[in-house]
Amino acid sequence: ALISLRQLLDHAAENSYGMPAFNVNNMEQIHAIMQAADEVDSPVILQGSAGARKYAGEPFLRHLVEAATEMYPHIPIVMHQDHGSDPGVCLRAIQSGFSSVMMDGSLLPDMKTPSDYEYNAGVTAKVVEMAHSGGVSVEGELGCLGSLETGEMGEEDGHGAEGKLDMDMLLTDPEEAAQFVKQTDVDALAIAIGTSHGAYKFTQKPTGQILRIDRVKEIHERIPDTHLVMHGSSSVPEDWLEIINNYGGDMGQTYGVPVEEIVEGIKHGVRKVNIDTDLRMASTGAVRKHLAENRSNFDPRKFLKEATAGMQAICKARFEAFGSAGMA
């Protein structure tokens, strides 16, 4: 059944677990997530970007999610709009039946230019008013995601990364977060603590702690009733990177967010963890490998099945690591 993000994350807070939120664009991704959730008895957050609705076509995306609720009636599902660029995008998601929307007012509608606080609070409050009157939850974002190493916004995130950010935007300020929540009444807040979108997050293999978990703690203490969200939380699996490059791919050396750091965040109020890149890499690696090893095959079901299996294994591992397994 479809439930709201607030309902699910309240349960996650009461039971001290975190929810992976996987991006979806097509049937195979939804199959992979639902099969893994069914196997370990986890609730699910399916999130679609505006780009996903454009890619699949709004009716197809809507019916794919409806198919998931019909096939798995025992699994609670949140259908969430990822990175709404303006209130109109959020309204269209609500009209499409989404039970939760993200108004990303940390950037202007071009999704490239950092906005100011007043703009962000204004558009977010507007979406909350509209969404809450229909029982739909809202996620806001305060701070800008970008590399603490270089000040660059993540690349290949579909946002058209451009330019450097001021370093003080790269970490969410706890006092400002408290003011933002009071002013907007958001259910969940995405925070900047050192993650960035896309595959190219860190150039060195992380040894010690790389995220500002101390900042998560401070923010959680100021706004304990607002569920914290980590974007850019793919772990960029080294095994899939190797498979991609061994079978004709050409990705650069790169490192993601260690799962243990996400688990640390979950201990301090993180309840939603956004993951897109990891599933993209598993499906690309599985397809490359299958086609290289089965050169005569021309039945897409054979390689798409491999892609589904690769994605499913990652989903299962995240449900287990974040503690949502057994919580459906």
**Contacts to ligand 13P from residues 229-268, by CB under 6 A:** 231-234
Contact 263, 322 (CB under 8 A): yes
Of the candidates 82, 157, 173, 278, the residue annotated as catalytic is 82
DSSP for 142-170, written as a single string: ES----TTT-BPPSSSSS---SB--GGGS
Rounded-to-integer distance, Cα 328 and Cα 30, Å? 17
1 CB burial (10 A radius; 0-12, 13-18, 19+) = exposed
Residue selected from 20, 43, 198, 285 as contacting ligand 13P according to rule CB under 6 A: 198
**Is there binding between residue 25 and ligand 13P (CB under 6 A)?**
no
d(CA 222, CA 33): 33
Nearest distance in Å: CB 277, ligand G3H: 7
Q: Does 49 bind ligand G3H (CB under 6 A)?
A: yes
Is 82 an active-site residue? yes
The answer to whether 250 and 285 are in contact (CB under 8 A) is no
Alpha carbon 144 to chain centroid distance? 15
Footprint on residues 61-90 left by ligand G3H (CB under 6 A): 82-83
Q: How far, in whole angstroms, is CA 92 from its chain's centroid?
A: 20
Closest by CA position to 49, among listed 26, 69, 72, 67: 26
Cβ proximity to ligand 13P, 194 vs 232, nearer residue: 232
Task: Name the minimum Å distance from CB 233 to ligand 13P.
Answer: 5
Please select the residue that binds ligand G3H; options are 141, 261, 276, 306, rule is CB under 6 A: 276
Q: Which is nearer to ligand G3H, 174 or 310 (CB)?
A: 310
141 part of the interface to ligand 13P, by CB under 6 A: no
Binding site for ligand G3H (CB under 6 A): 23, 49, 51-52, 82-83, 157-158, 197, 276
Question: Where does this chain bind Zn ion (CB under 5 A)?
Answer: 231, 274
